[in-house]
Structure 1
Amino acid sequence: MITKSNSFTRLAETAQSISSTRGNNAKIKLFVDYLYKLKADKDVELATQFLSEGAFSSVSGKRASVGHRTIATLAADFCEIDYEKVFKPSKTASGSSSETIQRLFENIPEAQSKWKSENLTLQEINEIFESLYITSKRDAKQQILLDAWMRMSPLEIKYFIRILGQGSLRIGFETKSVENAIAKTYGKELETVRYARMISGSIGRTAVMAKNDALDEASFKMFSPIAFMLASPIESRAVTDLSEYIAEEKFDGMRCQAHISDGRVELFSRDLNQISSSFPEIVEFFSGKELPDLVLDGEICVFKDDTILPFQLLQKRMGVKKPSKKLLTQYPVLFIAYDILYEDGNPLFDDLLSVRRVKLEKLSKKHSIPITSQMKIYNQDDVEELFQRALDHGNEGLMLKRKDSVYEYGQRRKSWLKVKKPSGSLDTVMLYAHAGSGKRGGTYSDFTLGVSVKDDDRYEEEFIPIGKAYGGYSDEELKKMNALIKDITLERFGPTLLLKPHLVIELEFEDIQINKRTKAKYTLRFPRFKAIRWDLSPSDADTLKDVERMYQQKIDEERSRQGKNPSFYLPSRN
């Protein structure tokens, strides 16, 4: 069978090649070679969208709404295996549902007899995604999936599922690399491509504009969210003159972009999802004011009794499309703005931060909009003093922002720096090792870590997973761990090894969050290696009850009220 240039097979094969290739430049070249052979604008749009954004454009507002269990139980039925006894243990071992499905479909005879790749085109795959979007019933969605899988190879199915998830394809090739490939394919300046994507909100549209030499036609539209400016850890950037920065407290909340025009208000999360229905009081706050067309960058926080409350309480509001009166009363939220990106028909992305701040302060004063407090800094002593004040408020730390910076959409540079300290650490046991990709190909560099439940009546196991980590160790430590892994491997599941509980890792993390989809019911936010505890044994590992206790302590901790030296300015109080 001849593989068509616009087939989904070819996109899946390209994604797999990118995953197994070392070096970002080599990965980009693979996608450039792929993209160059696509002729139709729609194929170019879909290919870049699928690889970067998912089944639907970030600004489309569409979601397929297909749950993990819907996919997993259908896959088990497809293979004619028991979901609980076979599929779930296989998925736990591999650490990836899509990877598990690929391996099962390739190796189980009952599954092999059911699928046959028909070399579906990108546009045919898009039609399947659209069908899932307009279908509401679970059994109908499963029938669409079943019909689609019978027409694809296991490799195609793996990437079909990952694309459907609207997240990273986990191949070491994120949006900035796709932008780079677009620029190289069509001979455009990278910054021009990035700017067009930022103001259009769509990587697919940007690729088509680049192909047709029309990047200058990109224009910002209200209610199409733009990529957020990101911060780098201060430890990763050399700062020679702190006086070039201003400081703001880093809130214990949720990043949000607010678009306001003629009484219409829409809120977007950091992943550009529409979240307006979850926070009706913020929508009501803005819609009740006579405001010019605005786009504000800020944070949603639970705010009660003059105090910003923990992020864990905000989680109770996140994802709730129609919060009850009780929920609104228990966990009232506030939008605190710290940047203005668009005002009355004028994009402000290229204005300096100091200029944008003046506009934001005028807007705040006129319309009583909460905005961050900014503090001048001159040296490290100032940073340490303000950092402690932020912690007293219950906030995460500080943001340092260059006064002469423009809004660098989707970038992590020196313009915004975050000063934080870890929320805590746990002694965990390494349970699974996953093969790395790219420059770490050939080694096991991603690890699933667990906590002890051997004395916990709720569980039969000795250890259960609490998080995954793939950083914080040196090359020498990685080499030493890989040597040990050979001796403690119990079973191999494709690229994943089940390990004998032996090696203890002190795992550092930003926060503990509830995650009911996991066995522990909790997950760690941004976990990374703090230390490899060669001196400890699995009996020294922390327990799930330790995790539960740390979570509760975070909620119960005393926080300073927004009185003297507040972290944000609430004009309505004056």
Structure 2
Amino acid sequence: MLAVAGDLPADRDLYGLEVKWDGIRAVIHLDGGLRVTGRHGADYTRRYPEISSFGLKNAVIDGEVVSLDRLGRPSFERLQHRMHLTDPGPRMLALYPVTYMPFDLLYLDGTPLFDLPYRDRRALLDELDIGAPPYFPGESDLLSATSAQGLEGVVAKRLDSPYRPGVRSPWWVKVKNFSTREVVIGGWKPGKGRRSGGIGSLLMGVFTGHGMTYVGHVGTGFTDATLDALRAVLAPLEIDRSPFSNAVPWRNRWVRPELVGEVAYTMVTDELRLRHPVWRGLRPDKVPAEVVL
């Protein structure tokens, strides 16, 4: 089940508030064994060996994989070091450990829980005592608290809402302290100065009714190592014409629109440009067709 982006609901007494964890969605399947899958069904079991069965034998749990910084805050930058590794070795496990944050219970001891209200599913989850972070009353000031602590925001969930797999429902509303979004990489602008001979900035697009629309370029938020890695990933995707449906300034290098990244930004202009974008990383858990205006 997916959330829509928006503001805190006016009828906040009908909602519970959870911290929005900046990580990767993962579902744990327990049925005589342990299997971890991503949003689209990809098998993450070997990718995140830290995830355990919590001592449960028959359950399905929804939650988020995060990597915490030294202050205990989720760091998407740290998670980037792990999310591409299908079988991480001891060194990466030690340097960039992950934590699983359970937030919903979908199945328990032979009983599907999809039609139970959110408040009842959460009560059952809390009874399992597996480290699920708490949720708070809708009237609480959790959004301000997350902002003060440098966290991404909150998710407001209707207390009476069922769970609908694959549905992006207004029963769940994600409210962010800053704006982030996925973008499709359609090319790159050659760098100058210190970046001469490499990538200067990435060209970003989103899909609209007119095809993939150019929404700006992002040149900040990269390390030299990140740019080198992106150049290697993009090289096999190069094509000889623009994949964008609208005009793009400068002379650029074009690529097939197959990779999705995430950026933070301040606003969207009337010309559909993202202002002050900052690169946050690739999102291999997303597919380009999902990246819409």
TM-score under structure 1 length normalisation:
0.37
Contact 1:467 1:524 in 2 (8 A): no
Q: 1:418 aligns with which of 174, 177, 181?
A: 174
**Cα deviations by residue, 1:395-423 (Å, 9 ceiling, x for unpaired):** 31000000000002211222101101435
In the alignment, what sits opposite 2:80? 315
Q: 1:372 aligns with which of 125, 129, 133?
A: 133
Residue 268 (structure 2) pairs with residue 530 (structure 1): yes
Residue 144 (structure 2) pairs with residue 388 (structure 1): yes
Q: 1:399 aligns with which of 155, 162, 169?
A: 155
Displacement of 1:305 in angstroms is: 5.0
Q: 2:15 aligns with which of 241, 245, 249?
A: 245
In the alignment, what sits opposite 1:269? 38
How far, CA to CA, are the matches of 1:252 and 1:277 in structure 2? 21
What one-letter code is carried by the residue in structure 2 that aligns with 1:241? D
Displacement of 1:324 in angstroms is: 1.4
How far, CA to CA, are the matches of 1:239 and 1:529 in structure 2? 21
How far, CA to CA, are the matches of 1:470 and 1:315 in structure 2? 25
Pair member with larger Rg: 1
Q: 1:255 aligns with which of 5, 21, 25?
A: 25
In the alignment, what sits opposite 2:116? 351
In the alignment, what sits opposite 1:430? none
Displacement of 1:325 in angstroms is: 1.1
- Distance verdict in 2 for CA 1:452–1:422, change over 3 Å: farther
Contact 2:178 2:264 in 1 (8 A): no
Q: How does 1:209-228 map to 2 (within 5 A)?
A: none
Displacement of 1:454 in angstroms is: 3.5
Q: How does 1:330-345 map to 2 (within 5 A)?
A: 330-345=95-110
Residue 38 (structure 2) pairs with residue 301 (structure 1): no
Q: How does 1:14-25 map to 2 (within 5 A)?
A: none
In the alignment, what sits opposite 1:465? 202
How far, CA to CA, are the matches of 1:522 and 1:458 in structure 2? 24
Displacement of 1:359 in angstroms is: 0.7
Contact 1:449 1:468 in 2 (8 A): no
How far, CA to CA, are the matches of 2:243 and 2:65 in structure 1? 42
How far, CA to CA, are the matches of 1:532 and 1:525 in structure 2? 19
In structure 2, the gaps of 5 or more residues are 214-239, 282-293
SS of 2:19's equivalent in the other structure is strand
SS of 2:91's equivalent in the other structure is helix
How far, CA to CA, are the matches of 2:76 and 2:271 in structure 1? 30
Q: How does 1:163-242 map to 2 (within 5 A)?
A: 229-235=1-7, 239-242=9-12
**Cα deviations by residue, 1:113-150 (Å, 9 ceiling, x for unpaired):** xxxxxxxxxxxxxxxxxxxxxxxxxxxxxxxxxxxxxx
Displacement of 1:465 in angstroms is: 3.0
Contact 1:246 1:403 in 2 (8 A): yes
- Distance verdict in 2 for CA 1:458–1:416, change over 3 Å: same
Contact 1:470 1:528 in 2 (8 A): no
- Distance verdict in 2 for CA 1:525–1:304, change over 3 Å: closer
- Distance verdict in 2 for CA 1:310–1:423, change over 3 Å: farther
Displacement of 1:338 in angstroms is: 0.6
Displacement of 1:497 in angstroms is: 6.1
Contact 2:190 2:198 in 1 (8 A): no
SS of 1:391's equivalent in the other structure is helix
What one-letter code is carried by the residue in structure 2 that aligns with 1:294? A
SS of 1:307's equivalent in the other structure is coil
SS of 1:418's equivalent in the other structure is strand
How far, CA to CA, are the matches of 2:57 and 2:21 in structure 1? 27
- Distance verdict in 2 for CA 1:292–1:393, change over 3 Å: farther
Displacement of 1:274 in angstroms is: 0.6
In the alignment, what sits opposite 1:114? none
**Cα deviations by residue, 1:11-59 (Å, 9 ceiling, x for unpaired):** xxxxxxxxxxxxxxxxxxxxxxxxxxxxxxxxxxxxxxxxxxxxxxxxx
Which structure: greater strand fraction? Answer: 2
What one-letter code is carried by the residue in structure 2 that aligns with 1:256? A
What one-letter code is carried by the residue in structure 1 that aligns with 2:164? E
- Distance verdict in 2 for CA 1:523–1:414, change over 3 Å: closer
How far, CA to CA, are the matches of 1:415 and 1:386 in structure 2? 18
- Distance verdict in 2 for CA 1:330–1:292, change over 3 Å: same
**Cα deviations by residue, 1:296-334 (Å, 9 ceiling, x for unpaired):** 001111136561331121121113122111111111111
Higher relative contact order (CA 8 A, sep 6+): 2
Contact 2:65 2:100 in 1 (8 A): yes
In the alignment, what sits opposite 1:82? none
Aligned-pair Cα RMSD in Å = 3.9
- Distance verdict in 2 for CA 1:275–1:454, change over 3 Å: same
- Distance verdict in 2 for CA 1:469–1:526, change over 3 Å: farther
Contact 1:468 1:527 in 2 (8 A): no
How far, CA to CA, are the matches of 2:187 and 2:177 in structure 1? 21
In the alignment, what sits opposite 2:191? 453
How far, CA to CA, are the matches of 1:465 and 1:304 in structure 2? 27
- Distance verdict in 2 for CA 1:290–1:343, change over 3 Å: same
How far, CA to CA, are the matches of 1:532 and 1:302 in structure 2? 36
Displacement of 1:551 in angstroms is: 5.7
Contact 1:469 1:529 in 2 (8 A): no
How far, CA to CA, are the matches of 2:195 and 2:109 in structure 1? 61
Which structure: greater helix fraction? Answer: 1
How far, CA to CA, are the matches of 1:330 and 1:354 in structure 2? 37
